[in-house]
Amino acid sequence: MNYQAFIDQQVAAIREAVGEGLAINALSGGVDSSVVTALGHRALGDRLRSVFVDSALMRQDEPQLVVDMFAKLDIPVEVIDARSEFLDALRGLIDPEEKRHAVTNTFYEKVFGRIVRQSGATHLLHGTILTDIEETVDGIKRQHNILAQLGIDPKDAYGYHVLEPLKTLRKDDVRQLARALGFNEELADRIPFPGPALATRIVGEVTAERLETVRRATAIVEEELAGCGAFQYLAVLLSDRATGIRDGRREFGQIIVVRCLHSTDARTATPVELPWATLHRICERVTALPGVNRCLYDLTPKPPATIEYI
Ligand code: XMP
């Protein structure tokens, strides 16, 4: 694939679609939305407004990290605090598809609907990639960023058009594109992070407290496995509990699952044979988190599992 030609084509297509209008896009800190931001910025300059929606579902320190990363590229990113809106929408939900739906709705209808009305933007730029579309169309899970393929016309439903410059690409191509756009290796190689964020890694109800547990576990797993060469690694909080002992007393505690997978395009994935010492260190640190007394390593490939738990 000729990445430079792809960049030129997409920049021209974004310019043509948006015309003299304004566009917005949301950054999650992952490579897909970062690449879309760079393409959009090339096409539209300051007629693209890039936002980081703090949904309460993001990773530790992520808002500042994303703002700083893009400041180096002279792309301003605005942080929008929508934490209570997302937590309210997720309250009491257990069913995985209902949780995904709540996140999607809050994102597109409430938060983006509002930004669009306030800014007069006509287009939303989106980091949808081919795998997201395929899994939704195949009925595996309702991917957060899929609208048209589910029969949702974003113009009718939310009042803006959606542009998806990466929808023919898979993750490995997106990484090459990131390099061609001048991103450093750290960003081009950043592990995937899903649109519905940590909500995909909590089985059962998503609450501020449970998010804090999975956020801290995620930070430990990402720190310990950084540079291990895997496609993706993550922590999941289960809804089951298990009996354990803390400070000599019985504790009915939380269970964290660690996942670390090889993959090229996320359609299939196999677990990484991590060194025992690494697993031990992760287990020790994760079970030091308040209320967590079990740490499990998930050996299931995709299929039959998926990468995330929701
Ligand atoms: P699964 O869990 O379906 O994940 O095996 C495959 C890859 O996609 C990511 N993922 C998402 N990405 N929106 C996204 O942009 C989503 O709704 C979504 N759900 C899962 C996941 O992290 C993995 O890399």
- Name the pLDDT band for 29 (thresholds 50, 70, 90): confident
Question: Nearest-CA neighbor of 18 among 51, 44, 42?
Answer: 44
- The minimum-distance atom of ligand 1 relative to the CA of 171 is 24
**Which domain-ending residue is among 137, 153, 187?**
187
The answer to whether 214 touches 196, Cβ cutoff 8 Å, is no
Task: Reply yes or no on whether the pLDDT at 297 is more than 90.
Answer: yes
Q: What is the pLDDT of residues 119-140, one digit of tens each?
A: 999 999 999 999 888 877 777 6
Across residues 59-72, what is the average pLDDT? 93
Task: Reply yes or no on whether the pLDDT at 117 is more than 90.
Answer: no
Residue 76 located in a structural domain:
yes
Instruction: Report the alpha-carbon distance of residue 102 to residue 304 in Å, rounded.
Output: 26
pLDDT score for 307? 97
**Can you give the residue range of the structural domain that contains 147?**
3-187
Task: Write the residue with the smallest CA distance to atom 7 of ligand 1.
Answer: 266
Report CA-CA distances (Å) from 162 to 159, 168, 282: 10, 15, 41
Question: Nearest-CA neighbor of 22 among 118, 89, 150, 104?
Answer: 118
Task: Reply yes or no on whether the pLDDT at 300 is more than 90.
Answer: yes
Asked if 63 and 142 sit in the same domain, the reply is yes
Task: Reply yes or no on whether the pLDDT at 79 is more than 70.
Answer: yes
- Name the pLDDT band for 143 (thresholds 50, 70, 90): low
Percentage helix, strand, coil for the chain under 3-state DSSP, each rounded to 5? 45, 20, 35
Asked if 16 and 152 sit in the same domain, the reply is yes
Task: Write the residue with the smallest CA distance to atom 19 of ligand 1.
Answer: 194
Asked if 7 and 146 sit in the same domain, the reply is yes
Tell me, in angstroms, the distance from the centre of ligand 1 to residue 37's CA. 19
**Which domain-ending residue is among 137, 159, 187?**
187
Question: Nearest-CA neighbor of 15 among 174, 173, 165?
Answer: 165
pLDDT score for 187? 87
**Residues written for the chain:** 310
Task: Reply yes or no on whether the pLDDT at 208 is more than 70.
Answer: yes
Asked if 231 and 137 sit in the same domain, the reply is no
Question: Nearest-CA neighbor of 258 among 292, 218, 227, 304?
Answer: 218
Residue 124 located in a structural domain:
yes
Tell me, in angstroms, the distance from the centre of ligand 1 to residue 302's CA. 12
Residue 197 located in a structural domain:
no
Task: Reply yes or no on whether the pLDDT at 150 is more than 70.
Answer: no
Q: Which helix (H) or strand (E) holds 162?
A: strand 161-163
pLDDT score for 273? 98
Total structural domains in the chain?
2
Asked if 212 and 172 sit in the same domain, the reply is no
- The minimum-distance atom of ligand 1 relative to the CA of 142 is 17
Q: Residues enclosing ligand 1, CB less than 6 A?
A: 132, 135, 141, 143-145, 192, 194-196, 200, 232, 266, 302, 306-308
Asked if 168 and 230 sit in the same domain, the reply is no
Beta bridge partners of 161: 123
| CATH number of the domain that residue 68 is part of | 3.40.50.620
The pTM of this model reads 0.90
Q: What is the pLDDT of residues 258-293, one digit of tens each?
A: 999 999 888 899 999 999 999 999 999 999 999 999
Question: What residue type is assigned to position 112 of the chain?
Answer: F
- Name the pLDDT band for 145 (thresholds 50, 70, 90): low
Task: Write the residue with the smallest CA distance to atom 20 of ligand 1.
Answer: 194
Asked if 49 and 80 sit in the same domain, the reply is yes
Task: Reply yes or no on whether the pLDDT at 141 is more than 70.
Answer: no
pLDDT score for 136? 76
| CATH number of the domain that residue 272 is part of | 3.30.300.10
Asked if 56 and 158 sit in the same domain, the reply is yes
Task: Write the residue with the smallest CA distance to atom 4 of ligand 1.
Answer: 307
| Both tokens assigned to 131 | 């795998």
Residue 304 located in a structural domain:
no
Asked if 139 and 250 sit in the same domain, the reply is no
Phi, psi torsion values for 167, nearest 5 degrees: -70, -10
The answer to whether 137 touches 302, Cβ cutoff 8 Å, is no
- What is the best residue among 106, 135, 175 to mutate for testing ligand 1's pocket, by most ligand atoms within 8 Å of CB? 135
**SS3 of 269, please?**
strand
pLDDT score for 149? 66
Asked if 43 and 146 sit in the same domain, the reply is yes
- The minimum-distance atom of ligand 1 relative to the CA of 143 is 17
- Name the pLDDT band for 309 (thresholds 50, 70, 90): very high
Question: Is cis: bond before 304, omega within 30 of 0?
Answer: yes
Across residues 229-245, what is the average pLDDT? 97
Asked if 116 and 253 sit in the same domain, the reply is no
**Which domain-ending residue is among 187, 220, 239?**
187
Across the chain, what does the average pLDDT equal?
93
Tell me, in angstroms, the distance from the centre of ligand 1 to residue 247's CA. 38
- The minimum-distance atom of ligand 1 relative to the CA of 100 is 17
Asked if 37 and 131 sit in the same domain, the reply is yes
Provide the 10 A C-beta neighbour count for residue 239: 12
Residue 173 located in a structural domain:
yes
Report CA-CA distances (Å) from 213 to 143, 254, 259: 24, 9, 16
